[in-house]
Amino acid sequence: MGTVSQFIEGKLKLKVNREKSQVARAEKVKFLGFTVVNGTIAIARKALQTAMEKVKALTPRGTEKRLDTTLESINLWYVGWANYYSLSQYPAQLGKIEAHIRRRLRARLVDQQKRRRFLYRKLINRGVSPKAAAVAFTNRKRWKTMAVSRAYPNKWFIEVKGQAIRSDQKLAHWFDVNQWVYLA
């Protein structure tokens, strides 16, 4: 670290920020939101966590905003975010954010129903069996129930509501969407 800093400051006449600079393995270093894992470029763990928090902030519970308005503001943010991180080689990371958006929106749809019977009727009208609709509003996490996922499938969010999807672009440098990277 000392000789590298000396070269940068002496020859290149640049100032090295000693708090941010480090010499470490590529997997341990993040640079502009990216990290290198086994010679491939991935979105850094902290950038993914920040994106998850941003989705949470954009989809507050107990709000009067309509689903379309919420999805429009999420799409504005997500398209820019995903375009920046499209340099990554793992589209599954983008898919993780897209799935998180849908989970949050499903939870909002359930929370908008003030009573269990209203939710039950809505799920029945969306094609869910009465038995599955009866257990939709339990103490479990509501968006994880199969009835809500069947009533509001991924296709509904994408085609009907217009959720922006970037993990299916099939860019030349991307791996298969099913290939996942494990970050340190």
pLDDT in tens, 63-74: 788 899 999 999
Residue 143 has pLDDT above 60, yes or no: no
Looking at residue 148, its pLDDT comes to 87
Looking at residue 139, its pLDDT comes to 60
Task: Decide if 183 contacts 176 (C-beta within 8 A).
Answer: no
- Look up the pTM and report it: 0.83
pLDDT band at residue 164 using 50, 70 and 90 as cut-offs: very high
Mean pLDDT over all residues of the chain?
88
Most confidently modeled of 67-76, 132-141, 175-184?
Answer: 67-76
pLDDT band at residue 28 using 50, 70 and 90 as cut-offs: confident
Looking at residue 142, its pLDDT comes to 55
Task: Decide if 152 contacts 67 (C-beta within 8 A).
Answer: no
Q: What is the SS3 assignment for 127-139?
A: CCCHHHHHCCCCC
One DSSP character per residue, 52-73 reads HHHHHHHS-TT----HHHHHHH
pLDDT in tens, 80-109: 999 999 999 999 999 999 999 999 998 888
CA distance 112 to 167: 29
Looking at residue 24, its pLDDT comes to 79
Share of the chain above pLDDT 90, in %: 51
158 by DSSP, 3-state: which? helix
E-strand ranges in 17-142 read 30-31, 34-37, 40-43
Q: How many helices (H) and strands (E) does the chain have?
A: 8, 3
